[in-house]
Amino acid sequence: IIKVFSLVGFILLLLFYLTANWIGRRITKPIVLLQRGAKIIEKGKLTHKVGTKSKDEIGVLSRAFDNMTKKLRVLYLGLEKKVRERTKDLEKFKLAVQNASDLVVITDPKGKILYINKAGEKITGFVAAELLGKKAWSKESWGMMNEKFYKKLWKTLTINKKTFSSKSVKNKTKNNKEYDAEIKISPILDKKKVLFFVGIERDITKEREIDRAKSDFVSLASHQLSTPLSTVKWYAEFLNKKARRKLNEKEKKYLDELYKSNERMLALIDDFLNVSKIEMGTFYMKPKPTDINKVMRNTLKEFLPQIAKKKLKIKKTFYKKSISLNIDPKLLSMVFSNLLSNAVKYSNKEGKIEIETERQGSKALISIADSGCGIPKDEQSKIFTRLFRAQNVYKQYPAGTGLGLYIAKNIVDKLGGKIWFESDEGKGATFFVELLIKNKK
Ligand code: ADP
C-alpha cells in the first residue's frame, strides 16, 4: 500500500509540476517575447514584430506594441526623407556661398572668423585655415582702416544691431597689396541676442580706377575747354562794349545769344570741374572768419538780373547780427549760389522767394523758399544724387545738369553741416542748410 501510495503520490506530484510549468510558460513566454522585442526595437530595428497571438492582456499589449512600432517606422521613414531633402538644400546653399564671386565671411559675436568662402581666400590671399579664429577686417586679418572706422562699425553692429555698410574701405592682402572694397556686415539676431555676423565684401579697385580715369578725363577736358570759352566770353564782352551801337537789332540779338550760350557752357564746365574735384577728393578748403549774411547778400546780387526779368519778389529775413563762421567763403557762396539759382529757375513769373538766416545756439540755419514747381514726392529721395533731374522740370526748364545739388550736398557734408528740403509739387520748395558755428575745419 505504501509503495502504491508513493508511486501515485510521485506521479501526481510530477503531473502537478508539469502542469504548473506549462501554465507558467504560457503566461511568461509573451512577456519574454515582448521584453526581447523591446530590446531589438531599441537598437533601431523598427521592422521587428513581437507577434504574440494570445488573447489575454499580454497579447493585447504586444499587438499595441507592434502597431506602435509600425507607426514609428512610417514616421521615421518620412523624417529620413525630409532630412535628406533639407541636407540637399543646405548643400546647395553651401555650394552657392562657397563659390560666390564676392567674399563671404561668418564670424562669432566677437567678430572672430568661423567661415570664409573661396572668393575670400582669393581676394585676401590667405587660406581659410589661416584666418579661422582671427578678427575679420582687423589688422590681424586683411583690414587697414583707422580706429574711428572700427569704433563706428562695432557700434552699428553691436549697439544699434543694424547692418553696417561702407563703399570706401581700404584693405590689404596677405602680401600687403592694398585694395579698395565695398563691405556690408549684418548681425544675425535671435530676439535681441547676436548669434553671429555675416559679412560680404567686393573688391572695387578696378571700378575705382575707372572712376578715377573718368574724373581725370572730365577734369582735363574741362580745363582745356575753359580756355577757348573764356576767350569767346572776352571777345563777346568786347564786342558788346565797343561795337554794340553799330549792330542792327538782329545782330544784337545774336550777340546776346552768343554771350548767354557761352556763359551756360562756362557754368557747365565749372560744375564738371567741381564734380571731378569732389570725386577725386581734391576739394580743398581755405577756412577764414566769414559772415553768412554777407556771403548771402553778395551771392544774391549775381541773380538780380534774372530776378528782375522774372519779376520775382524777394523777402529777406536776415539775423540781426552777423553770424560769423570759420569757413571757406567761396565754397559757402557756391552752396548758396546753387540753391538761389534753383529757386529762381524753378519759380513761375512773379513768384516769391524768401531767404532767411538765423542763429540757433551753436548752429546757423539758412533757408531759401520758393513758390515754384516743387519736387514730386516719389522723386524726393534722389534729388541730391549726381545728374538727377525730376520729371516735372524736364519739359518746362530744359536747361539744367542735375549737378548743382550734388555739389552743394558734398560741400555741406565737407563743412560738417546738413542740407535738406521740404516740398509739395506745384506749391514750391524750401531748402535748408545747417552749419556749426564753432567749426573746427
Ligand atoms: P539742375 O537744376 O541743374 O537740374 P540741381 O542739382 O541743382 O540741377 O537740381 C536737381 C533737380 O532738383 C532739378 O533738376 C529739379 O528737378 C530739382 N530741384 C532743385 N531745386 C528745386 C526747386 N527749388 N524747385 C523745384 N525743383 C527743384
pLDDT of the residue at 17: 94
pLDDT of residue 440 exceeding 80, the answer is no
Q: Which atom of ligand 1 is nearest to the CA of 343?
A: 23
Q: Which of 51-55, 204-208, 258-262, 396-400 has the lowest mean pLDDT?
A: 51-55
**Cα of 379 from ligand 1 centre, angstroms:** 11
Assess contact for 107 and 197: CB atoms under 8 A: yes
Q: Residue range 421-435: average pLDDT?
A: 96
pLDDT of residue 235 exceeding 90, the answer is yes
Q: Whose CA is nearest to atom 20 of ligand 1?
A: 342
DSSP class per residue in 215-255: HHHHHHHHHHHHHHHHHHHHHHHHHHHHTGGGS-HHHHHHH
199/404 Cα distance (integer angstroms): 35
pLDDT of residue 439 exceeding 50, the answer is no
For 43-56, where are the alpha helices, taking DSSP H only? none
**Cα of 86 from ligand 1 centre, angstroms:** 53
pLDDT of the residue at 29: 81
pLDDT of residue 434 exceeding 80, the answer is yes
Q: Taking the model in full, what pTM does it have?
A: 0.65
Residue 81 pLDDT class (50, 70, 90 cuts):
very high
Q: Residue range 7-11: average pLDDT?
A: 94
Which residue do the cell numbers 574711428 mark? Answer: 148
pLDDT of residue 377 exceeding 50, the answer is yes
Q: Whose CA is nearest to atom 7 of ligand 1?
A: 404
Q: Whose CA is nearest to atom 14 of ligand 1?
A: 389
**Cα of 422 from ligand 1 centre, angstroms:** 13
Q: Whose CA is nearest to atom 13 of ligand 1?
A: 389
Q: Which of 55-59, 133-137, 374-378 has the lowest mean pLDDT?
A: 55-59
Q: Which atom of ligand 1 is nearest to the CA of 428?
A: 24
Average pLDDT, the chain: 91
Q: Residue range 118-147: average pLDDT?
A: 93
Q: Which of 43-47, 205-209, 312-316, 340-344 has the lowest mean pLDDT?
A: 43-47
Q: Which of 179-183, 231-235, 280-284, 287-291 has the lowest mean pLDDT?
A: 280-284
**Cα of 334 from ligand 1 centre, angstroms:** 15
Residue bearing the bigger pLDDT, 395 or 124: 124
pLDDT of the residue at 441: 41
Kind and range of the H or E run holding 89: helix 57-98
Assess contact for 324 and 289: CB atoms under 8 A: yes
pLDDT tens digit string along 82-105? 999 999 989 999 999 999 999 999
SS3 label, residue 210: helix
Q: Which atom of ligand 1 is nearest to the CA of 400?
A: 3
Residue 3 pLDDT class (50, 70, 90 cuts):
very high
Residue 404 pLDDT class (50, 70, 90 cuts):
very high
**Cα of 370 from ligand 1 centre, angstroms:** 12
The answer for residues whose C-beta is within 8 angstroms of residue 258's C-beta and 6 or more apart is 232, 236
Q: Residue range 317-324: average pLDDT?
A: 93
Q: Residue range 348-368: average pLDDT?
A: 95
pLDDT of residue 117 exceeding 90, the answer is yes
Q: Provide the percentage of residues in the chain whose pLDDT is more than 90.
A: 69
Pocket of ligand 1 (CB under 6 A): 338, 342-343, 346, 370, 372-375, 383, 388-390, 393, 400-406, 429
Dig out the grid coordinates for 316 from the structure: 529777406
Which residue do the cell numbers 574741362 mark? Answer: 222
pLDDT of residue 26 exceeding 90, the answer is no
**Cα of 24 from ligand 1 centre, angstroms:** 102
Q: Residue range 301-315: average pLDDT?
A: 95
